[in-house]
Amino acid sequence: MRRLVLVFLLLAVLGGFLVAQEGFFKAEEIFPLVDRHVHAPSILELPNGDLLACWFEGSGERKADDVAIMGARKLKGAKKWSEPFVMADTPGFPDINPVMFIDTQGRLWLMWYTVLTNLWESSLLKYRNSYNYMMEEGPPEWAWQDVLHVRFDSLSEGIKENDTFAKTLETKLKSFIDRFLKEYKTLPGYTEEETKKLAGAFVQDILDKVWGKKACLKEGYPLLQRIGWQTGNRPLIVGRNRLLVPLYSDGLEISIIAISEDWGKTWTFSEPIVGIANIQPALFLKSDGTLVAYMRNNGPYPRYLYVSESKKDGGITWSEVEYTDIPNPGSRADGIVLNNGHWVLVCNDTMDGRYRLTVMISDDEGKTWKWKRSIESYDKGAGISVAYPSVYQGRDGLIHVVYSYHSPQGKTIKHAVFNEEWVMEGE
């Protein structure tokens, strides 16, 4: 009898192990299709097991003054998401690109930006946090809000000749362009000479902006160094209190990292990460402490994700921007390091549209992406966009992805949840 019980126990354990290895996938709409513009979501699992998602919603984007940050909850064990509610709203201004995280003190943070003059270059970074956010309905109870002021060199008398931000940007941009022209020589549809002229015009435009030569102000145009910075991907916490916030500028078409070691009381900023329109960095941390930033490619051919590394100083200085072999049509990618050390990256792995959203897994810290599978995929001509993912791993090991779903019938934010085994099964 004892032996029979042991056999049954062993079979139960093995059965549980086999079930745990089976692929699991589920996708759902957070709310029914709407006519309004809903985009750029973020998701978290709260300490009590509830899910909290947010996105921006309005009649447009930067040119629509009714855009607000919206949210919804899915209580642990619930089958449906709650009705949407307002997470942040600056009346009369667009509020864009929310990101959320929970710090080591247990506070929930919401970061986003308000567009002041309906131009991306006028974006103003904001953040708020909450200790009381695990309610059954409605938004968190916000305890604090502030503006994230970006500052590099002193600009009290305009942009000076030794401005380190402008000098570093100029050096990196010229180096990238030189490497680009040597490797690719011509853009599709252009001669070599025309390609050089286009590259030269791009460089001159950025340098005129960063050195203040385009402004009719006596002291130059320092505002482009201090406003126009935008959130896109979730911040990364390193150690107990080093907070790294990935930012980008559509005006200067570069990325930077905002760094705080006192939870937002003071901020320092990295040197610029510079390529041809490399924006919206997603941060990964290697086991040796190296930081890796995968970035959206808003530039010309070749349309691949960009990558850069910070090896020595925890995100202050960054290597030259390089191309990966992961296609990118000019759309945000996002990713995380899983509890087992594997990397997950979710992106539109095409060069010509946002009609396919794919999850990739690497077991060698991004050297190779051995497994991938489509979360959603459509014919290019169907008019359906699945894009702007936000990725999070729950305490049960499941991977959560929220993303924008836009179709001719309407728009919504979708939520997919799956395990690694599902990805590794392949298409």
Would you say 389 and 404 are in contact if contact means Cβ atoms under 8 Å apart? Answer: no
DSSP 76: T
| pLDDT tier for residue 220 given thresholds of 50, 70 and 90 | low
Most distant CA pair in the chain, distance: 93
306/296 Cα distance (integer angstroms) = 6
Predicted pLDDT of residue 14: 41
pLDDT at 218 over 50: no
| pLDDT tier for residue 59 given thresholds of 50, 70 and 90 | very high
67/278 Cα distance (integer angstroms) = 26
| pLDDT tier for residue 216 given thresholds of 50, 70 and 90 | very low
Predicted pLDDT of residue 214: 62
| Tokens describing residue 110 | 């919401």
pLDDT at 169 over 90: yes
Q: Does domain 26-424 have CATH number 2.120.10.10?
A: yes
**Please, which residues have CB within 8 angstroms of residue 17's CB and are 6 or more apart in sequence?**
none
pLDDT at 222 over 90: no
Between 164-184 and 192-210, two packed helices, what is the crossing angle to 10 degrees? Answer: 170
345-370: average pLDDT? 98
Nearest partner of 222 among 148, 147, 165, judged by Cα = 165
Cα–chain center distance at 358: 15
Per the omega criterion (within 30 degrees of 0), is the bond before 300 cis? no
Predicted confidence (pLDDT) per residue in 287-312, tens digit: 999 999 999 999 999 999 999 999 98
pLDDT at 239 over 90: yes
Predicted pLDDT of residue 9: 41
Mean pLDDT, the chain, as a whole number? 93
DSSP-derived 3-state class of residue 234: coil
> Distance of CA 217 to CAs 85, 93, 157, 165, 357, Å?
43, 26, 11, 19, 45
Sign of the dihedral through C-alpha 66, 40, 123, 259: positive
Percent of all residues in the chain with a pLDDT value above 70, rounded to a whole number = 93
pLDDT at 383 over 50: yes
Predicted confidence (pLDDT) per residue in 245-277, tens digit: 999 999 999 999 999 999 999 999 999 999 999
Which H or E element spans position 202? helix 192-210
